[in-house]
Amino acid sequence: MRELKERGGLSYGVLARRLHTSTSTLHRYCSGEALPAQFAVVDRFARACGASAAEAVDLHRAWLLADARRRAGPAAPDPAPDPEPVIAPDPKP
């Protein structure tokens, strides 16, 4: 999205007004910090920036993958390995 924004030559303010969103939200989308909940926002963004049909398809594909990752939730951390058993010395008689 950032590349399209730069190539389109529009400021975050102008794009935000066209997309009916805030400039900070749009900046988070372009920097990859956030993902729009609906592809429609990405589609309107692409149109406003003059994206080609192929670029729009690429954006849709990227959004679908990112949305699937978001829906899957954070990756579960690897379980901690079991601690090494501590063998106590034999008690003295």
* Count of domains observed in the chain: 1
Q: Would you say residue 37 lies in a domain?
A: yes
pLDDT of 83 above 90:
no
Calculate Rg over the CA atoms of the chain: 24
Average pLDDT, integer, range 18-23: 92
Q: CATH no. for residue 31?
A: 1.10.260
Q: Would you say residue 88 lies in a domain?
A: no
C-alpha span between 21 and 58 (Å, rounded) = 23
Q: Which residue has the higher pLDDT, 14 or 82?
A: 14
Q: Which residue has the higher pLDDT, 88 or 6?
A: 6
Residue closest to 5 by CA, chosen among 39, 36, 38, 51: 51
pLDDT digits (tens, 9 = 90+) for 30-82: 999 999 999 999 999 999 999 999 999 999 999 999 999 999 987 656 666 66
Q: What is the extent of the structural domain holding 43?
A: 2-71
Return all residues near 50 (Cβ < 8 A) that are at least 6 apart. Answer: 4, 7, 8
User: So what's the pLDDT on residue 79?
Assistant: 64
Model confidence, pTM: 0.71
Structure tokens given for 45: 């963004």
